[in-house]
Structure 1
Amino acid sequence: MPLYRDEAVVLRTHKLGEADRIITLLTRQHGRVRAVARGVRRTTSRFGSRLEPFTHVDLQLSEGRSLDSITQAETLTPFASGLGADYERYTAGTVMLETAERLVTEEKEPATQHFLLLVGGLRAMVSGDKGPGQVLDSYLLRSLSVAGYAPSFDHCARCGEQGPHRWFNPSMGGMLCSTCRLPGSASPAAATVELLGALLAGDWPVVARADQRTLREASGLVAAYLAWHLERGLRSLVYVER
């Protein structure tokens, strides 16, 4: 069977038989891949902890009819070791993994931007330099943008009129002017709209100046925008303190 190598982040695992696991991966060159790790649940397994969620690995795989098989695995970055002792960062990280799995729907298709974004987001989460909620919100907005759902915060998402605007509607793609406003649209504070734009752009000095009320309002709008475009909420998001 043909062999190939790739970098990957382990997104999820589940048991298969008595000793194997199916590993869901986000790879750099092959997008989302589901592969079998044979014997990984045995204490004598050569893979050890290299195929646990959050691990950034270098893999060799063999192609199969329905599932590929992992034949080699080397740890590049053990993100789990930096998240396990911090509940807030760990739960935020699980949302990132679930989001990546949901947004990268095509198997074996390149998803390099999603992969690099996830590795960068996990690295920022582990570093501790920025708040976990802000790293998560920035990752979610950027991931949606890469997937084709880029929100608009500086002009009307419907007519394109330059902002600032007052109304926010997830179904329309972001901020709306007074003319395009739809019933049920939220009316966030101006500081919240500025913060959302900064999270999307990675303008961390602006993010650092935001107060807790603004951060909470922005997080709620990010969650609403994510739920709309994924068509249902994330199971892991309920464990994150927002």
Structure 2
Amino acid sequence: MTVSLYRDEGVVLRTQKLGEADRIITVLTKRTGKVRGVAKGVRRTTSRFGARLEPFTHVDLQLYTGRSLDVITQAETIRPYGEALVTDYPRYTAGTAMLETADRLIVAEKEPALRQFLLLVGGLRTLVEGEHDPRLILDAFFLRSLAVAGYAPALEACARCSAPSVRAFAIVAGGVVCGACRPAGAAVPAPETITLMIALLRGDWATADASESRHRSECSGLVAAYLQWHLEHGIRSLRHVERV
């Protein structure tokens, strides 16, 4: 029987114990998509590459295809984002929410997800650089991840009739809505909050950085609710993210 070896780079999303010394490593890779692989013996103190397979690490991997789980045979660190994040609680918790969201949004294994991979690497790099508020970075990541998955919220015209005049934000409608299309229970955010959401989706950091804390807080609430409604699950790590 021939062994199918392949190589890819990826970001470690999470790990799970397996047996006495092994771990299952879930990685979002550049070419293959989401992969679950077994790293044998990595929980032993003598392991050659256990530290390279921790969450947040951007790694270059060699794997061979197994029956149910692939097996990781080599791991080389490209960039250990976790080292810079673990000492900064707001950035660490934002990064943890990014990893969980990427894992939840990509359900199928081994289906290429290049845009989501690039988005995750870019989000972690921006968190480490520390030039923007971590919650803004996280909300931008959420909005862009939703857009990549085909769930971008309507923010500039009514989600139902495309009217330019918007009055409210309705998760079930898909974003902002006009007065005529507004369903019961729709939120009525400040116009500045919608402007902030548009800026985060576009990567307009000048506008985002200049926003007021009350609009950032309102934006975070709407974005988190919208994301979790589409995922049909809560993001557990969000409870640890420090709100403005």
TM-score computed with the length of structure 1 as normaliser: 0.98
CA offsets 1:36-83 (integer angstroms, 9 cap, x no match): 000101111110310000000000000011000001100001000010
Tell me what 1:51 maps to. 53
Q: Which 4+ stretches in 1 moved above 2 angstroms?
A: none
Tell me what 2:187 maps to. 186
Matches within 5 A, 1:143-162: 143-162=145-164
Matches within 5 A, 1:1-242: 1-163=3-165, 165-242=166-243
State how far apart, in whole Å, the 1-side matches of 2:120 and 2:65 are: 25
Equivalent position SS for 1:82: helix
Shift of 1:162: 2.2
Gaps of 5+ in 2: none
State how far apart, in whole Å, the 2-side matches of 1:209 and 1:147 are: 28
State how far apart, in whole Å, the 2-side matches of 1:89 and 1:61 are: 31
User: Which amino acid is the alignment partner of residue 172 of structure 2?
Assistant: S
State how far apart, in whole Å, the 1-side matches of 2:233 and 2:70 are: 29
Shift of 1:177: 0.6
Count of aligned pairs between the two proteins: 241
State how far apart, in whole Å, the 1-side matches of 2:17 and 2:195 are: 45
State how far apart, in whole Å, the 1-side matches of 2:125 and 2:172 are: 31
User: Which amino acid is the alignment partner of residue 234 of structure 2?
Assistant: G
Question: Once structures 1 and 2 are overlaid, which stretch shifts more, 122-131 or 42-51?
Answer: 42-51
State how far apart, in whole Å, the 2-side matches of 1:70 and 1:232 are: 30
Equivalent position SS for 1:81: helix
Equivalent position SS for 2:215: helix
State how far apart, in whole Å, the 2-side matches of 1:153 and 1:77 are: 35
State how far apart, in whole Å, the 2-side matches of 1:48 and 1:234 are: 27
Gaps of 5+ in 1: none
CA offsets 1:66-117 (integer angstroms, 9 cap, x no match): 0000011000010000101001100110000000000011111100000000
Shift of 1:168: 0.1
State how far apart, in whole Å, the 1-side matches of 2:171 and 2:34 are: 27
State how far apart, in whole Å, the 1-side matches of 2:180 and 2:108 are: 38
